[in-house]
Amino acid sequence: MNKNLEQVLTTIKENDHFLVTSHINPDGDAIGAMAAMGYILQSLQKDFVLFNESGLPQRLAWLKLPAPITQELPETDPQWLIVLDSGDSSRPGEKIKDLIGRVKTINIDHHLGNPGFGLINWVEPQSSSVGEMVARLAQKLDIPLQGALAEAIFLSIASDTGGFSFGNTTPEVLELTAHLIRQGLDYAQINAQMQKQWSLNKVKLHGHVLKNAELHLNGQIGLITITQEILKKTETTIEDCEGLVNYIRNIKSVKVAISLREDEPDKIKFSLRSYGKIDVQQMASGLGGGGHRNASGGTLEMSLTQAKEKILDTVRGYLVGIRIKD
């Protein structure tokens, strides 16, 4: 058995009070993994709190939870803090960053470059999702992957594999998903729940952003920008921007897709996507970000114009470098 997984198992069995969290602006893997971990702790009759600084995204409000996801930390510190799907200690937000310094922490993650900020660090970049890792934890504890637990795990896996279309869709994750379905998971129903979450305003946002998409380096780079102005105009939020960058990645000539989202006048969230051997994690790490080979991101503290110039220079340099090597 993996030594770090064994440490996680022992710690969960031998302690009683936990706080479970994940990164801010959580995606399906973060929320699914939190819910799944909560169901595991519930099965073991442990005391736990689910916390996320950004709260539960509206598009995931359909998911059954073992406990509410709170945005306020409890008055009493837990025995252990379990941090999920966070590439470094800053990702869960300021409130948790302070807690990591004084509470024993289990770090469960699948991002390349995770520095191992916990007392226990179970980090597997080869895993499709943290939900897949939590499923393995449940199996080691002889907890059946059924009902709401199975739905949470499926949400995690389907979210981070792009509906089983990304390069991290391994035989193991497909076998795990088949097991969930054999155990009674209603694949069609939960997939519909995941997909049918759009508003008309979100459609208008996507239409505007995609209409203004750009191509660079002879079509090898696709770029979209999302300004505060267009979010206000369409009455949408950053939550409505999820998945936009994947449309650009599907352009035939594009090797790297870039999304730049203006969260504040001098705070730009960037997302990078690719297929195959094009390593956007390497590009993102050079910009202070991180992630996976085909899906990475980060934040740039500069204007949108400056961020666009900087990230295009980085991506051009990488792609030209590959061409020279080839």
The tens digit of pLDDT for each residue in 198-225 reads: 999 999 999 999 999 999 999 999 999 9
pLDDT of residue 97: 87
Q: Encode pLDDT of 56-78 as tens digits.
A: 999 999 999 999 999 999 999 99
Q: Both tokens of residue 208?
A: 């505007």
Instruction: Answer yes or no: is pLDDT of 130 > 50.
Output: yes
Which whole number is the average pLDDT over 250-267? 96
Residues 70 and 89 sit within 8 Å (Cβ to Cβ): no
Query: Distance between alpha carbon 4 and the CA centroid of its chain, in Å?
Result: 21
Which whole number is the average pLDDT over 26-42? 97
- Of residues 46, 43, 45, the one with CA closest to residue 19: 46
C-alpha to C-alpha distance for 2 and 16, rounded to whole angstroms: 23
Instruction: Answer yes or no: is pLDDT of 41 > 50.
Output: yes
pLDDT of residue 292: 86
Provide the residue ranges of all domains of the chain, joining segments of one domain with +: 3-195, 200-325
Which whole number is the average pLDDT over 247-272? 96
Q: Both tokens of residue 251?
A: 């352009």
**Between 298 and 322, residue with greater pLDDT:** 298
Q: In whole angstroms, how far apart are CA 268 and each of 260, 264, 299, 308?
A: 6, 7, 6, 9
pLDDT of residue 1: 67
Instruction: Answer yes or no: is pLDDT of 326 > 50.
Output: no
Which whole number is the average pLDDT over 113-140? 96
pLDDT of residue 324: 46
Locate the DSSP E strands across 154-242.
214-216, 221-226
pLDDT of residue 165: 85
Which whole number is the average pLDDT over 86-115? 93
Which whole number is the average pLDDT over 114-143? 97
pLDDT of residue 223: 98
* Beta strand 80-84 pairing with 214-216: unpaired
Residue with structure tokens 């220079």? 313
Share of the chain above pLDDT 90, in %: 89
Instruction: Answer yes or no: is pLDDT of 14 > 50.
Output: yes
Which residues, at least 6 apart from 69, have a Cβ–Cβ distance to it below 8 Å?
A: 31, 34, 50, 51, 52, 55, 56
Which whole number is the average pLDDT over 241-261? 95
- As a whole number, the mean pLDDT across the chain is 94
Phi-psi region of 222 (alpha: psi -120 to 50; beta: other; left: phi over 0): beta
Backbone angles phi, psi at 163, to 5 degrees: 65, 40
C-alpha to C-alpha distance for 292 and 189, rounded to whole angstroms: 29
Instruction: Answer yes or no: is pLDDT of 323 > 70.
Output: no
State the fold for domain 3-195: inorganic pyrophosphatase (n-terminal core) (3.90.1640)
Instruction: Answer yes or no: is pLDDT of 98 > 90.
Output: no
The top-level CATH class assigned to 200-325 is alpha beta
Q: Considering the entire predicted model, what is its pTM?
A: 0.90
